[in-house]
Amino acid sequence: MREFIKREMAAEGHRVDIAENGRELLKRIFRDETIDLLILDPDIPDAQESALLTKLQNRLPYIPVVFHTFLSDYQNRLDIVNAVGYVEKGARSIEHLKRIIADFRKHPGPSSLDAIKKRKQPGK
């Protein structure tokens, strides 16, 4: 799934890096380079979800996060970390990811969070 997302996002003109596990993700997010957006599956191998979310929340500057997961528990939890969206894994999830990212790129920053939170999820 990670390679598929990478290919689809690269085709949209995004530079995409993949972390294979939680340890690698933490190394990447605390490098000096800029990260514009993180697509996060909280079930990433080798990561304790609560510790990972705490570290993401403490990072400055903040990284906006799109949750990509099977866990529908996150749908109404856009307050966690710097969530700009929630996408449930499924057949059409890549299209939903693309829409959320396009919306975020049009209106980056805190003001975009409110607009994205107010959007009704497709099929809900």
* pTM for the model: 0.73
- Name the CATH architecture for the domain at 2-118: 3-Layer(aba) Sandwich (3.40)
Per residue in 96-123, pLDDT tens?
A: 889 988 888 887 755 344 444 444 344 4
- What DSSP string runs through the chain? -HHHHHHHHHHTT------SSHHHHHHHHTSSS----EEE-TT-TT--HHHHHHHHHH-SS---EEEEES-GGGTT-TTSTTEEEEEE-STTHHHHHHHHHHHHHHS-SHHHHHHHHHSPPTT-
Domain locations along the chain:
2-118
- pLDDT tens across 12-22, in order? 888 888 898 98
